[in-house]
Structure 1
């Protein structure tokens, strides 16, 4: 990229926060907030073909989310099942490749089977939707370091090669919705030189236009990677 070219974000990650608060403000059950959050995901994925984004990584279910009430966790798992069933044909039609990060094989067996099928059927997609399921970044780094140690010397390169995101482009931009300003154990290693944006919009209200605004702001930033 020459000095007069604006940077384009190839890999964007989003901490999708605010479903519960969105529902509470409207005196609705939290489950409705999560459903509206899935609709926001659907609209965003459809819009990717009109952007520079080659990979969108979404924080869908963290390893800490198991601490939530059993009913809410059950609602989230059922929503995941519905999303995979309903959106797999759309992924195929729009040339989207599904990639999962996290300890997703620790989910319910039927969900694991559905994910394995979706991964196989979308393997040749040109754009990637990476979904973090049962994911914790500290745990990911520990696993990667252990694998690197088993193979020999531990270096930044050997750890990076064993991260769940090793097949993805370097992270350019991380966005968190809902006004919270923290990473919540998400892509800690990958965020080392990523640009970050924290927006007040609750996730169900986040639109493709909001993403385009974020990409425009990213294009106006100067990325120095520690240099001048």
Structure 2
């Protein structure tokens, strides 16, 4: 039942009365946001994570496909194989972005839409999430203004975009064009390294930091958007870090 009122014609609509032009420009929804979502997996994704992914918002009437799952592979090789498959497919190679999603990460519903807002300024932009356990560290690595390049965890500025040298890959948006750069060894964008180098000692890289080290040397730029807060789920303890 409606409340008593006198009706005066005012049918412009809330959005028409607002600064809609600036809002749409910020959200990039009028542009090509074609995105492929990829996820390496051991084949056992927790129900809590699947439930979370079902709420992930996608841009209206845009090409967003996936997740494409890479099952049973070492994580670096999983990313290499799916990227090769995408780049060697004439239709998929036309997409603009790759969103990496991992099987223990829980993004907010509007997380992808927020990452699009800053992708023009960077070649990859990731959400803020933390390593698991007490004393967890932010996966926002290295100050680009400090040389030599390092991957020391930074203090992300609250609710803003923090430039960095590297990111985790639990919820990160990449420009697909970057993987077409011939300075990378094709098919070997990501490597997990654990070795002893004579005269230098032990050397260890996770697949993500191997890639970001190379990409920073080539001049690519990255950032962490701390507005996009992502949970990091420990299925053994059932704690979301």
* TM > 0.5: no
Normalised TM-score (structure 2): 0.23
Normalised TM-score (structure 1): 0.24
Higher helix share: 1
